[in-house]
Structure 1
Amino acid sequence: MPAGTPQWRRSLPADLAAGATTALVGIPQGMGFALVAGIDPIYGLYTAAFATAFAAFLTGSSYLKVMLSNVLAVSLFSVLAPVPQADVPATLFVLTLLVGLFQLGFGLVRAGSLTRFISNAVLTGFIVGAALLIIVGQLGNLTGYDLPRNPVQILAVVDLLTHTEGVQPEALGIGLLTIGLVVAFRRVPRLRPVALLLPLIIAAPLVQAALPEVALVGDISAVPAGLPLPVIPDIALAPGLLVPALALAIIGLVMAVGVTEAIPERDGTIADVNRDFSGQGVTNIVCSFLQCAPSAGSLAATALNVGAGAETRAANLISGAIVGAIIIVAGPLAEQIPLPALAGILILIGAELMYRPREITCICRYSRPGRWAMLATFVSTQVLPLQYSIYVGVFLSLGIYLVTSTREASVVRLVPVGEGMFREEPPPGRLTAGRLTVLSVSGSVYFATLRAIERSLPSPEGVEGAVVVLALRGRVEAGSGLFRMLERYARQVGAHGSRLVLAEVDPKLLAGLEETGTAAAVGRENVFVATPVIGESLREAIRAGEALARERG
C-alpha cells in the first residue's frame, strides 16, 4: 500500500486473517469449555463473541485474547456442580459480574505485581491438575457411558474401567476419529486454522447418517439463532458466591499475566498488566448482562492470534464479530455436533496442557521446595474443589518464598583481590584479634530472615582489637528488627574491645539508625553513607576500619 495509507488499513488484511482463524478455532473451544464448565454451550459461544470483542479495546495487551479458558472452565465446574440445574444460568451470570468486579478492583489498586508471589512450580501443578480434570471430566461424553458425579473426579476412571460394558463403541469411535483427524489436519499447514472445526463438520453428518444413537449437543441444550437479550444478574445470590468468585478472578488474572509476559507488544515492551486486569474486569461486568461466562486471557488462544498474523487489536474485535455473525446465521447447526467429537477435542487439549516434561523435570531437579509444592498443588486439584486449590497454591507459593528467602539470607565475607574488586567467601566463625573483617549481607532482609543473618555474623567472644566492616548497600526498608540486630551486634563487639563499622548505608536507612539509637551504639563516625558510585563508601569504610585496627592492635 502507499506510504500515506493509515496504519489500520495497512494492517487490516492481516487482522482479518487472524480474526477469522481464531474465530474458527474459538467456536468449538467455546462450546467445549462450556461443556467442561457444566453450562449450556451457547453461553460459551456468547463469551467467545462478546468477551473477545470488548476486551480488544480495554486490555493493555494488543494481542490478549479474552475468553472462557480451559482452566477457568474446570474451576467454574467446581463452583456450579452443587447448584441445581435450573439455577445454573442465574448463578453463572452473577459469578461473571463478581469476577469482573474483583478483577477491576485488582487493576485499580495496581495489584499486578502481587502475582509474582505465585511460584511457577505451584502454577505448573495447578495447570497439570486442571488439565487432568478436563480429561477425566470428558470420559463420559467420549465413551457414551453416564459417569456418576464424584467429588474426587479421578475415581471416575475406576468406575469406567469396572463398567466397560456401558461403553458405547459408536461414541468412542467418533471421539477417537475426531482426535485422529485433528492431529492429521494440524500436520497440513493450510488446514491448521480449521483443524479443530473441520473434524466436527465431518463427524456431524456421519453420525446423522449412520450412528443415530450417538448423543448430540442438541440432546443437552438448544442453540438458538441470534444474539442474547440482556439480563440483570440476581445480586441476591452474590453473598454466597464471593469466595469462589475471588478464586476465579485470581485464576484468570494469573493466567493473563503469564500471557502478557510471554507475548510482548510489537516493539518488545510488556503491556501494563494492571490495565489488563481492569480491562478484563470491565469486560466481565458488561458481559454478565449478556449471558456470558467468566472470561480471562488465554495463552493458547493469544499465541494462535499472534501466530495467525495479528498486527493490532482489531484482530480480536474481528474474531468476536465473526463468532457473533455465525451464531446469528447458523447457531442451530451447532446442535448437530456429536458430543463424543467435542469430548475428543477437549481431551486432546487437556493432554497438550498436561504435556510439559521439561518444565516438570526442571522443577523436580533444581528446586526441592518447588517439587513438593508442585506435587501438593496437583494433589489439591484432585481432592478439593478447584477454586479452592488456587488458595492452596497461593499459600504454598508464599511458604516457598519465606522458606527460600530465610535459607538464602546470610552474611558473606568480602576478601579484597585488588583494583577495588572482592572475592566472596563464607564468613569466619570468629573474628581475628587486631584484624579487619569485611562482610556484606546476602539475600532478603526482613523479620523472618534476621535470625539467619545474625547467626552468620562472626562471634567477637575472646577477641580484642578486631574491626568488622558490614556493607548494607540496597537495604532501605529493613524495619526495626534490623536496627535492633545491628545494635545488639555493635554492643557485643564493643564489649570485647572491638568495633563495628557500617558501610554503604542508604540515607533513608541512616535516618532509622539515628532515630532508634543504633547509630549511637555503633558510633556515628563509623557509619558511612552510600554514594551513587558503587563501592566508594565501602572503600572509605575499609580505610577507616584499617586505621581503627592499627590503633587497637
Structure 2
Amino acid sequence: MAWPDRHRLLPFLAWLPRQTPASVRRDLLVGLSGAILALPQSIAYALIAGLPAEYGLYAAIVPVLIACLWGSSWHLICGPTAAISIVLYASVSPMAVTGSDDYITLILLLTFIAGVFQWLLGMLRFGALVNFVSHSVVLGFTLGAAVVIALGQLPNLMGLDLDSQATALKTLQSLLEHAGEVDLPSLLLGLGTLLVGLAIKLLLPRWPALLISLAVASALAWLLPSVFGHVARVPAFVGQLPPLSPLPLLDLELILKLLPSAVAVGMLGLVTSLSIARSLSIRSEQLIDANQEIRAQGLSNIAGAFCSGYLSSGSFTRSGLSYDAGARSPLAGVFSALWVTLFALAGARLIAHIPIAAMAGSILLICWGLVDHRAIRALLRVSRPEFLVMSLTFVATLLLELQTAIYAGVLASLFFYLKRTSQPRVQQSREGEADVLRVYGSIFFGASHYLQVRLQRCQAQEVVIDARQINFIDYSGVEMLHQEARRLRRQDRSLTLRRARPQVVEELYKLEGPGECPIRFEE
C-alpha cells in the first residue's frame, strides 16, 4: 500500500497525529525495554565489526531514528546486527588496521555506499529485487556467520591475543596451535557469562539475559581483583552525542573497491529487514510498503554514515520485543534510540568495567540465538533443493569471503529456480485422435526447449496444448510454437492451443497475423 502523496516526503505524518497520551506512554516503556536489550548487543556487534565499542551505540541512534520515522512498519526496529558486522569486518579488515581511524572511515564509507544503493532501489521501485535472495540463502548465511563469529571470539574467551584470520578454518587452526596458552581466569569469566545468559534465556526468557550476564561478570571481576585483575577490559570512551564523520566521497578508486561488498551487505540488510517486517505485519494485520521500507533503510544508512553509525538493518530480537511488548507505533523505536542516546552520554564509563572475555561469552550467546533450528528442520522437510541451497551457502560462508558467499548463495538459489521453471509440469492425456498436453507454467526461453521435446514426442494426428495455466510467453516460446506448428502442418498434422489467455494469443499473433498463423485456437 503506497503512502498518500502528501506523506511521501514525511511519511511519519501519516501516523504521528493519531497518537494518544496512553499510546505514547506505552511506546516509551517499550522503547526502554528495547534500549536495555540494544545496549549490550550494540557494543558486542561493534567489537565483531572491529570497531570501538561506542560505534555500536552510535549505530543504534541516528539510523534507528531515521528508519522508524521514514519506514512503513509499526514494529521493525533497526540497528547493528551480528551478520552484517562480520561481513563489514571481513570486507574492510584486509584494507586497514582494525579499529584505526582509516578503518573506521572505510566502514562508514561502505555504509554510505550501501545506503545509496538501497535508496536507489527504493526510488526505482525495485523492491521485488530482494526476493532473489531467498530465505534459504539467508538461513545458510546466518548459520555460517554464527560459526565464523563464534570462532573469531574464542581467542578473546580464552584470553589469547591472536591475529585475525581470513577464513574460519584458519582461525580454528590458529586456536589449536595456541591451545596451551589459555588464560584460565579469562576462560572462566567467558564461560560463566555464557552459562548465566543461557540459564536466564531458558528460565526467564523475558529478562534481559545479555545485560544481566555482563553485569554479573563485571561485578565478579571488580570484586576479585586478585583473580581477574589482569583480564583485559573493553576500552572506555568519552560520553557524547554521535560525532559527525567526514567521508572521502571524492576518492573514486576507493569507492569502486568497496562497491561489491556494499552491494552484497546492502542486499543482505534489505532481505533481513523486509523478512522481519513482513512476518510481523502478518501477525499485526498491517500492510507493508516494501519500496517505502527500502527507501527508509537507505536513508538511515546514508544519514548514519555521517553520524558515526555503521551499517544497520532490521533486528530479529529487538523487532520481536517491540511487537510482543505491545508497541503501538514506530515511536517505540524512536524512544529506544533516545534511551540509548541517554546512556551514551551518561553511562559510557561503565563500559570500561566489562571484561573482554565476558563480552566474548555474550557474543557466543548471540551466536546461539542466530541459529534458527526450527526453520532449518522445516526446510529439510519441505524442500530438499532449498535445503541444499542453504547448505551450499553455509559451506561457502566458512570457506569463502563472506560477501562472496552471499553471491554464491544467490546464484545457487537462482540455478534451482531456473532448473525448476525450465521444466514446467506437463500432464499428457489422449482424447480420441489427439494428444493433449496440459502445461502448468510460462513458456519462456528457459522452458521452450523442454516443451519442444515434449511436443516432438507426440505421435497423434492432432496435438493440443491446454493453455489455461500459461500466463506468459516470450519471443523464444512464440518462435518455438510457430516452428512446431509448421512442422506438424508439413506432416498433415496440426497444433491447437485450447483456452489460451488473450495476452498469450496476442503475443502469438505478433509473429504472424491471424490469417497466416499456423497455430489453431479453440475455446
Cα distance change of structure 1 residues 390 and 400 upon mapping to structure 2, 3 Å threshold = same
Paired with 1:234 and 1:247, the residues of 2 have a C-alpha distance of 21
TM-score, normalised via structure 1 length: 0.85
Choose which of 97, 119, 130 in structure 1 pairs with 2:145: 130
State which drifts further: 136-145 or 120-129.
120-129
Identity %: 30
Equivalent residues of 2:61, 2:340 under 8 A apart: yes
Residue 396 of structure 2: aligned partner: 380
User: Which residue does 2:485 correspond to in 1?
Assistant: 490
Query: Which residue in the other structure is 1:223 paired with?
Result: 237
1:96 & 1:165 partners in 2: Cα distance?
Answer: 39
SS of equivalent to 2:281? coil
* Alignment-derived partner of residue 206 in structure 1: 220
1:104 aligns with 2:98: no
CA distance in 2 between counterparts of 1:384 and 1:19 reads 38
In 1, Cα distance between equivalents of 2:502 and 2:153: 61
User: Structure 1, residues 408-457: CA drift from partner, whole Å, max 9, x if none?
Assistant: x14323xxxxxxxxxxxxx46xxx8x624433212342101111112222
The residue matched to 2:61 in structure 1 has which SS?
helix
Is 2:389 aligned against 1:394?
no
Contact 2:463 2:495 in 1 (8 A): yes
Q: Which residue of 2 aligns with 1:451?
A: 449
Given candidates 89, 93, 101, the residue that maps to 1:77 is: 89
Is the deviation greater in 376-385 or in 131-140? 376-385
CA distance in 2, matches of 1:263, 1:313: 13
How far 1:197 moved relative to its partner?
0.8
Q: 1:40 aligns with which of 52, 57, 65?
A: 52
- One-letter code aligned to 1:133: V
Equivalent AA in structure 2 for residue 442 of structure 1: Y
Describe the superposition over 1:73-110 as per-residue Cα deviations: whole angstroms up to 9, x where unpaired.
11011012113233111112211211110110111112
Give the superposition deviation at 1:468.
Answer: 3.1
State the distance in 1 between where 2:195 and 2:231 align: 18
SS in 2 for 1:196: helix
Alpha-carbon distance in structure 1 between the residues aligned to 2:352 and 2:427: 68
Q: Could you say which residue in structure 2 is the equivalent of 1:194? A: 208
Q: Name stretches of at least 5 consecutive residues in structure 1 with no aligned partner.
A: 414-426, 529-536, 538-553
Residue 160 (structure 2) aligns with? 145
Structure 2 residue aligned with 1:287: 304
What corresponds to 1:505 in structure 2?
A: 500
* TM-score, scaled relative to structure 2: 0.89
Residue 274 in structure 1 maps to residue 291 in structure 2? yes
SS in 1 for 2:165: coil
Q: Distance in 2 between the 1:248 and 1:505 partners?
A: 43
Aligned match for 2:521, one of 494, 516, 527:
527
Alpha-carbon distance in 2 for matches of 1:406, 1:339? 53
Once residues 448 and 513 of structure 2 are traced to their aligned partners in structure 1, the CA distance between those partners, rounded to angstroms, is 16
User: What's 1:181 paired with?
Assistant: 196
Contact 1:18-1:310 at 8 Å conserved across structures: yes
**Distance across 2 between alignment mates of 1:328 and 1:460:** 77
Shift of 1:240: 2.1
336-345 or 115-124, which moves further after superposition? 115-124
**1:163: how far off?**
2.5
Task: Give me the whole-angstrom Cα distance separating, in 2, the residues matched to 1:26 and 1:248.
Answer: 21
Give the residue type in structure 1 aligned to 2:47. Answer: L
Is the 1:410–1:442 Cα contact (8 Å) retained in structure 2? yes
Maintained 8 Å contact 2:444/2:475: no
Q: Distance in 2 between matches of 1:249 and 1:10?
A: 37
Given that 1:63 and 1:302 are in contact with CA atoms closer than 8 Å, whether structure 2 keeps it comes out as yes
Find the aligned partners of 1:17 and 1:109 in 2 and give their Cα distance. Answer: 37
Higher mean Cα deviation, 480-489 or 506-515?
506-515
SS at match of 2:59: helix
The answer to whether the Cα contact below 8 Å between 1:25 and 1:193 also exists between their aligned partners in 2 is no
SS in structure 1 of the partner of residue 492 of structure 2: coil
| 1:67 and 1:296 in contact (8 A); partners too | yes
1:478 aligns with 2:477: no
What is the alpha-carbon distance in structure 1 between the residues aligned to residue 201 and residue 368 of structure 2? 16
The aligned counterpart of 2:511 is 516
Match of 2:14 in 1: none
Q: Does 1:405 align with 2:421?
A: yes
Distance 2:248 2:344 in 1: 26
Is residue 2:336 matched to residue 1:325? no
Bigger Cα displacement from structure 2, 208-217 vs 117-126: 117-126
Residues 179-211 of structure 1: per-residue CA shift (max 9 Å, x gap): 12222333454x834221122222223212321
**Aligned with 1:441 (options 435, 439, 442):** 439
CA shift for structure 1 position 469: 2.9
2:320 is matched with 303
> What's the CA shift for 1:170?
0.7
Match of 2:12 in 1: none
Are residues 444 and 507 of structure 1, via their aligned partners in 2, closer, same or farther at CA, if it must alter by over 3 Å? Answer: closer
1:155 aligned residue: 170
Count of matched residue positions in the alignment of Structure 1 and Structure 2? 498
Match of 1:25 among 34, 37, 55: 37
Q: Closer, same or farther in 2 for the Cα pair 1:8/1:474, shift >3 Å?
A: farther
Q: CA deviation at 1:365?
A: 4.9
The structural deviation recorded for 1:521 is 5.6
| CA distance in 2 between partners of 1:204 and 1:460 (Å) | 77
Alignment partners' CA distance in 2, 1:523 and 1:160: 71
Alpha-carbon separation, structure 1, partners of 2:398 and 2:24? 45
**Which structure has the larger Rg over C-alpha atoms?**
1
The DSSP-based 3-state class of the residue aligned with 1:192 is: coil
Aligned mates of 2:243, 2:134 — CA distance in 1: 42
Give the alignment of 1:112-123 within 5 angstroms. 112-123=127-138
- The counterpart of 2:260, out of the listed 217, 233, 243, is 243
- After superposition, the CA RMSD in angstroms is 2.3
TM superposition shift of 1:378: 1.2
Question: Which consecutive unaligned segments of at least 5 residues does structure 2 have?
Answer: 1-16
Deviations 1:102-140 (A, max 9, x none): 110111112221222223332221111011111111101
For 1:171 and 1:338, the matched residues in 2 are separated by 8
Distance 2:381 2:514 in 1: 45
